[in-house]
Amino acid sequence: MTKNVSVVIMGVAGCGKSSLGRAVAQAMHLPLVEGDDFHSPESRRKMSQGVALTDADRAGWLDRLCEQLRQHPGGMVLTCSALKKAYRDRLRQASPGLCFAFLQISPTDAQARVGARGEAHFFSTQLVDSQFATLQVPTGEPGVLTLDATAPLPQLQAEVAAWLTMRALA
């Protein structure tokens, strides 16, 4: 059991943030905070209509996620797209030493996964391209592990757990 380590499972829609977040939280005995649960009703409505969110739309959402990080000083797993470096930097300010597990996926694979969700999810398939257009890949930033989003979930979970354990012991 690793405490005092928080990680953001990040990437574009369809990369597998929620699935990996659940698996890592369970394996590491950490609380899971689903970033999508903190979007405003207006933002959820926009996304369901295929309208991309702006930085202004995301500001309050990021504030709420920062508050969640502050409320879990013993560590947590947060699922959050964290598409821009500025968003990641805001989250880092709320939780020094914050780690990011970046699920890298191709636009084709992301589109297929989002399309397979059907009506059960509020996110429109029309927005996948805008997510890639917004994404600033975190390569080279501190505390980032890049993963192949198409790898099997148990493998991804094991990689993240081993990485977080190593960081916590360092």
Q: Average of pLDDT values for 101-106? A: 97
Output the CA–CA distances (angstroms, integers) from residue 37 to 57, 64, 79, 137, 169, in the order listed.
15, 10, 10, 24, 31
What does pTM read for this prediction? 0.91
Q: Cα-flanking dihedrals φ and ψ of residue 54, to 5°?
A: -100, 170
pLDDT above 80 for 170:
no
**Mean pLDDT, the chain, as a whole number?**
89
pLDDT at 112: 86
Confidence of residue 161 (pLDDT cuts 50, 70, 90): very high
pLDDT digits (tens, 9 = 90+) for 43-97: 888 877 778 888 998 899 999 999 999 999 999 999 999 999 999 999 999 998 9
Gap between the Cα atoms of 81 and 79, Å rounded: 7
pLDDT at 1: 46
Handedness of CA 119, 131, 157, 73 (dihedral sign): negative
Owner of token pair 């991309």: 52
pLDDT digits (tens, 9 = 90+) for 1-18: 455 789 999 999 889 999
What domains does the chain contain, in order, with CATH numbers? 5-169 (3.40.50.300)
Strands 144-148 and 99-104, by their bridges, are parallel
